[in-house]
Amino acid sequence: MSRKPITVTQPYLPPLEEFIPYLEQIWASKTLTNNGPFHRQLEQALCEHFGVEHLALFANGTIALITALQALRISGEVITTPYSFVATSHSLLWNTITPVFVDIDPERMSLDPARIEAAITPRTTAIMPVHCYGYPCDVERIERIADTYGLKVIYDAAHAFGVRYRGESLLRHGDLSILSFHATKVFNTFEGGAIVCPDAKTKQRIDFLKNFGFADEVTVMAPGINGKMNEFQAALGLLQLQRVDAAIARRREIDAAYREALNGLPGITLPSPPPDTEHNAAYFPILVEPDYRLTRDQLYQRFRDENILVRRYFYPLISDMPMYRGLPSAAPERLPLARSSAERILCLPIYPDLAVDDHQRVIDIIRAG
């Protein structure tokens, strides 16, 4: 008899009886969306949780990325990473912006600041790095480059909920930071996302843009989109927020147990967040090296045969996809480190409800090879 599947992550859902009072309030108010009371409460609660002043909720993280680019009036070319989920680069194409791919720092698994300046042209208007796996980018170096060349910095922080770096929220860096609250994330609202804004004026423009550009009942300020989060999503977020610190603590315990069991295993490299990081253990990536007994894809298949649904996250590179591979910056010889990571990467199951026995099964398969 086959065992139940083990996935890389599973969405946390609060007990149904705790959600019912929120549903009753939604039914009683008959306010389902359009900046309702739960929407406003969640925006304020997240600002307090992150220690930021302004935040705009969205229906999902991809629309938030698209809107962030609109809000800062980004055009031309944007320097970004090929090692990410496709939403990062897709948001650029949707704004008729050309992605310029730059290789990654193999330690942080994110955009390498040492390679950014060589990619800047007169058409470059912004840099869009990704805090991959919640590991902070080298924010100081990236922002020094941006300041020198007069570029905006928009961080794709989809993985970075709750991450603190050098004593403060990672979300305070850059001109804007974009979060995802998809069901696979550390904190979820079924679907959802947010933009962390530096000031009230920027938040106001973003709020206009996510509601078709309406400033009031008769005034449309910009060609906006429908990116609003509804009251059901916001209500779930308020419940999730009550438990997210405990969920992250449990993730860290699982992360530590993996590291204790796998550290020093020949052929397996364990990437780690940089020093001075309070990590959220959003993912547990390993790199399968040539001296391991199996190839990465053979190990991947071994897990699949055991009904353990690990992920090659991120493989293939964005730059290898049909809509991008014709770009000069997508040439394989320009991206050797990103390509090497994509060919070796495997993300293991990590979520608060991961059973001890299931966690041990994962470890045993890797150690057996």
The answer to whether residues 195 and 177 touch, using CB atoms and an 8 Å cutoff, is yes
Q: Which helix (H) or strand (E) holds 16?
A: helix 16-29
Asked whether the predicted pLDDT for residue 237 surpasses 60, the reply is: yes
Confidence class of residue 1 from pLDDT cuts 50, 70 and 90? very low
Average pLDDT over residues 1-22: 86
Q: Which of 188, 220, 240 is the last residue of a domain?
A: 240
The verdict on whether omega for the bond into residue 316 sits within 30 degrees of 0, i.e. cis, is: yes
Do residues 50 and 170 both lie within one domain?
yes
Residue 5 in domain = no
The two three-digit tokens of residue 285, written as one number:
């990536």
Q: What is the pLDDT of residue 369?
A: 83
Do residues 108 and 249 both lie within one domain?
no
Q: Output the domain CATH number for residue 152.
A: 3.40.640.10
Q: Could you give the CA distance from residue 121 to residue 24 in angstroms, rounded to a whole number?
A: 55
Residue 1 in domain = no
Q: Which of 88, 116, 99 is nearest to 326 (CA)?
A: 99
Residue 31 in domain = yes
Q: What is the pLDDT of residue 282?
A: 97
Q: How many CA atoms lie within 13 A of 349 on its CB side?
A: 24
Do residues 224 and 115 both lie within one domain?
yes
Calculate the average pLDDT of the chain: 97
Average pLDDT over residues 264-275: 97
Query: Which residue, chain included where needed, has tokens 């090879």?
Result: 369
Domain of 269, in residue numbers: 243-368
- Bridge partners (DSSP) of residue 111 are 104
Query: Which residue, chain included where needed, has tokens 């992250």?
Result: 248
Residue 45 in domain = yes
Do residues 206 and 330 both lie within one domain?
no
pTM value > 0.85 = yes
Do residues 229 and 253 both lie within one domain?
no
Residue 2 in domain = no
Asked whether the predicted pLDDT for residue 36 surpasses 80, the reply is: yes
Asked whether the predicted pLDDT for residue 3 surpasses 80, the reply is: no
Do residues 23 and 151 both lie within one domain?
yes
Do residues 186 and 47 both lie within one domain?
yes
Give me the phi and psi of 237, to 5 degrees please. -60, -40
Residue 7 in domain = no
Do residues 353 and 259 both lie within one domain?
yes
Residue 280 in domain = yes
How many distinct structural domains can be found in the chain?
2
Do residues 195 and 61 both lie within one domain?
yes
pLDDT digits (tens, 9 = 90+) for 301-334: 999 999 999 999 999 999 999 999 999 999 999 9
pLDDT digits (tens, 9 = 90+) for 102-158: 999 999 999 999 999 999 999 999 999 999 999 999 999 999 999 999 999 999 999
Torsion of CA 22, 27, 29, 33, to 10 degrees: 80
Residue 8 in domain = no
Average pLDDT over residues 61-80: 98
Rounded to whole angstroms, what are the CA distances from 71 to 176, 281, 318?
A: 10, 31, 24
Do residues 206 and 218 both lie within one domain?
yes
Q: Could you give the CA distance from residue 20 to residue 45 in angstroms, rounded to a whole number?
A: 20
Confidence class of residue 2 from pLDDT cuts 50, 70 and 90? low
Q: Which of 181, 212, 240 is the last residue of a domain?
A: 240
Dihedral (CA of 174, 179, 342, 335) sign: negative
Q: Could you give the CA distance from residue 126 to residue 120 in angstroms, rounded to a whole number?
A: 9
Do residues 24 and 172 both lie within one domain?
yes
pLDDT digits (tens, 9 = 90+) for 171-194: 999 999 999 999 999 999 999 999
Do residues 78 and 134 both lie within one domain?
yes
Q: Which of 240, 266, 290 is the last residue of a domain?
A: 240
Q: Output the domain CATH number for residue 309.
A: 3.90.1150.10
